[in-house]
Each structure stands twice: as C-alpha cells, then as structure tokens.
Structure 1
Amino acid sequence: MPTLVPITYEEHSEIRIKPLEGLAEFTNVSLLPIYDVEIPKLAVSCPLVVVPEGEGYTLSLLCSLSNDMPNAWIDHEGKWVGGYLPAIIRQRPFTCLKNKEDKLLVCIDEDSPLVGDEGTPLFENESPTEYLNKMKEFITILYNSGQRTGRVMKLLHDLDLITSWEIQLSNQGGTSGKIEGL
C-alpha cells in the first residue's frame, strides 16, 4: 500500500526521484487504468475495457487475461513494448488528492522505489525544481482527466450502455476457463 503525502519543502527538500528504468512491479498486472486523454493513443493498437470498480466503472488497458499471466506489454527485461506508455506508469511516484477543504494536493508515494537520495531533486534553494513544476502540471492534468473519465463512465452506466461480457478460453491440452468482469 503506498504512503501518499502532500509534497512540502519541509518534508521533501532532500528527496530525489530516480528515473523509471524497469517495470517489474507491473509484470503481473492484468489491467491498467487509463485517462480519457489517452484513448486516442491507445485505442488504435491496444484492447481497452470497461471494468466494474466499486459502485461505478473504470476504463482500463487490458494487459493480460489474469493476474497469473504476464503483462503482454512488458518484456522479460521489464521494458514496455507497447509503444505509448500509459500515464498511470509515467506519473509515478506522484498523484493528486483532495484535502478536506476540497483543495487539490500533489502527493508523493514515499514508499516508491523511485524515491530516495539519488536522482532528480524536487527542490533547489527552497523552491520547486523545473522537474517538480512539470510533474505538478502533469499530475493536475491527469487528475482532471480522471474526473472527466469517471463522469463519462457514470453517464455510460446511467444510460445502460455498458454490458458485461465473458471470454471462454481453452487450450490444446484441454484446459479451459473463463474471464469475467469486463
């Protein structure tokens, strides 16, 4: 479980972010949530699915048919081979959350392996670095995109335009199974 905390100079002045080099943590991920702004980049070459989540639905990139199977978009060296790299991966270790006053806060996952004492600093001379400012802008855009995506999923559901389907699978050895929840 990530430890998400708002980014402040007092708490994160010494923090550095390592570059994204491997995707081992996504090797057994079967679904990656995507944002509405990513649909044109992904829909032309990747299977996108609508998946139940809580009381609503989320739009996701189908990476494998189960968590027991390897992610088809990551090779044996942990590199993305799917062309466009989804924002949910690129935004790491940052995200946006709203506080009690409904103010948007850019947060960092302090448990991320990308966070440490090597890499790109978040602050210089008590001010955010260009890197941090660009990430804040990126994360804010993604947050707003996620809100739009959620509203569209709700509208599709409210209009009864989402239907579930299951996939029946079998292999040459006679083993069969089904994938549900898509």
Structure 2
Amino acid sequence: MASAPQQASLPLFYNALEPLSSGAHAAFKLRQIDSAPFLVNQHAIPVTVDEFIHVQRSMPIVFTAGDEPVPIALMGLNEGVNVFIDDEGKLSDPSTYVPAYVRRYPFMLARLTPDAQELSLCFDSTADVIGAFEEGEPLFEDGKPTAIVQNILQFNEMFEEAGARTGNFMRELRELGLLMEGEISIQPEGAPQPFVYRGFQMVNEEKLNELRGDQLRKIQKNGMLPLLYAHLFSLQLMPQLFDRQNRAGKVPLPPLAS
C-alpha cells in the first residue's frame, strides 16, 4: 500500500494527507459541500495567475512578503477576518468568486516520497466531507475510480499547471524588479488618523511605466501585462474591503492621534 506523503510542512487548511486508494478507501464517499468552516477566520488565500481576472472583480490581489512571494486574494484586511464568509462558513454573496485553492480542498496532488517523479491524488483525512458514510457520492465502484474522482483529479491537475504558470510569472516579475513593499492608507470619516496596512508586496506602477521597449513588448507578448493591471486595478477594492469590515464590526480600534 502507498505510504503517506511527507507531512513536515502541510499547505494552508490541510491537517493531514493520505493518498487516495481503491483498496483502503473502497467504501469512501464524498458528501456535498455547501460550506467551508475552515475559511471563517482566514483573510488571505493563494491564487494563480489564471484567476486574476476573476478575483480582481471582488477582492484585492497582493503578493506575500519575502524573497519568494506568491499572489494572494484578500478576503479581509486583518488577521482572522473574512468578510465574504459568514460564521457558518457560507458565502455571504453566492456570486462571489471562490479561489481554486479553496475549491480543491480536501484534495490535492502531492509526492508520496521526496524523490517521487509523479504526483498522487491525496486528501485531508481529517476533513469531515470524505469517509465511509451512508450518504454521499461513491469514490470507487468495482475497484475503479468513479467519474467524480476523475473530475477531481482533472481539476487538481489543472490547478498544478496553473501553479507552474504562476511560478513563471513570479520569476519574471522579480527579474524585472517590479515588486515593492506595499502600503495602503485608509482614512475613515471621524478617525483621527488613517489606518495603514503593510506587510505585503505590490507592483511598482512607476517602474512598470518606465520599462524599456523590449521589456514591455515581452510582457505584452507573454500575457503578463493584463495580469499586472488586474492586480493594480484590484487595489482599488481596499477601501471597499475596509468598509465591509467596518459594517461588520471587525475593524481594529482606530489609531490614536500623535
């Protein structure tokens, strides 16, 4: 039987990983998912470049701090705040785009051993939506994966491919030197001082506009340019996100006047 993948550093939301097997999980079923309680207190979600255009309509897109930044969608401006999810883990507005990182849970592709060449379909064994239940969609029939498993596998393969494209995008972004430390200042009415948010990176629009002609042609040709502007346009949603937090009573105490 396949061994469990390395668990030293599990991705966000995952508490354990187990390879899906027709032998060990022949009776397993997948319950219908209508909520995501694990999202309630999560304010930032990783996204791929394939999703930028969809995400920027409702959430700011920024990049994590550090030498190996990744793009994230902000579902709140403060730790532990998600203004798109209610206390039961359901979307406040069903039309809100849900990042693929969330939609793939509790499944993901992972290497079973550090030197494995192929990725295997695994699942979080602590998730309460998969197990030997009486209700739900069967994952195996006659020892073979059902259509639902095939669809899950295909979705996760597409996610990995999008992740590779995102990695290439981020390498190009760093090579062009377009990232800078981010800072957003929001001045609510009646507050003595603005709320200032830092701890992320963003594209330096001034440097973007100063790119050489050959550099600009390259990012136009490889599709980076609309993605960069999707990110920049999405930053205009920061005040709206702050306002949603404010209406929900989830904004920290106002800063004191100096």
Please name the residue that 1:91 is paired with. 104
What does residue range 159-178 of structure 1 map to in structure 2 within 5 Å? 159-169=176-186, 172=190, 174=192, 178=196
Tell me by how many angstroms 1:142 deviates. Answer: 0.2
What does residue range 58-69 of structure 1 map to in structure 2 within 5 Å? 58-69=70-81
Tell me if the contact between 1:57 and 1:154 (Cα under 8 Å) persists in the aligned partners.
no
Cα RMSD (Å): 2.1
Name the CA distance, whole Å, in 1 between partners of 2:68 and 2:160: 17
Name the CA distance, whole Å, in 1 between partners of 2:47 and 2:197: 20
The secondary structure found in structure 1 opposite 2:179 is: coil
Name the CA distance, whole Å, in 1 between partners of 2:194 and 2:80: 15
The secondary structure found in structure 2 opposite 1:40 is: helix
Tell me by how many angstroms 1:52 deviates. Answer: 2.7
Please name the residue that 2:162 is paired with. 145
Tell me by how many angstroms 1:75 deviates. Answer: 3.2
Give the TM-score normalised by the residue count of structure 1.
0.87
Residue 10 to residue 175, structure 1, CA distance change in 2 (3 Å):
farther
Whose relative contact order is higher, 1 or 2, with alpha carbons under 8 Å and at least 6 apart?
A: 1
Tell me by how many angstroms 1:173 deviates. Answer: 5.7
User: Per residue, is there more strand in 1 or in 2?
Assistant: 1
Tell me if the contact between 1:122 and 1:131 (Cα under 8 Å) persists in the aligned partners.
yes
User: Per residue, is there more helix in 1 or in 2?
Assistant: 2
Structure 2: 5+ residue runs without aligned partners? 1-13, 201-258
Please name the residue that 1:78 is paired with. 89
Tell me if the contact between 2:40 and 2:88 (Cα under 8 Å) persists in the aligned partners.
no
Cα-to-partner distance string for 1:74-125 (whole Å, 9 max, x where unaligned): 1355322252221112111100113422211111111112122242121111
Q: Which amino acid aligns with 2:121?
A: V
Please name the residue that 1:127 is paired with. 144
Select between 133-142 and 23-32 the one with higher mean Cα deviation: 23-32
Task: Please point out which of 22, 43, 64 is paired with 2:35.
Answer: 22
Cα-to-partner distance string for 1:9-30 (whole Å, 9 max, x where unaligned): 1122122111112122211111
Cα-to-partner distance string for 1:145-177 (whole Å, 9 max, x where unaligned): 112112211221122111111234566465865
Structure 1: 5+ residue runs without aligned partners? none
Identity %: 26
Task: Please point out which of 190, 194, 198 is paired with 1:180.
Answer: 198
Give the aligned length: 180
Task: Please point out which of 15, 19, 24 is paired with 1:6.
Answer: 19
Cα-to-partner distance string for 1:39-88 (whole Å, 9 max, x where unaligned): 222223321111136x411111111111233x121135532225222111
Q: Is 2:117 the partner of 1:102?
A: yes
Tell me if the contact between 1:36 and 1:149 (Cα under 8 Å) persists in the aligned partners.
yes
Select between 77-86 and 20-29 the one with higher mean Cα deviation: 77-86
Higher Rg? 2
Name the CA distance, whole Å, in 2 between partners of 1:137 and 1:72: 31
Task: Please point out which of 36, 44, 47 is paired with 2:57.
Answer: 44
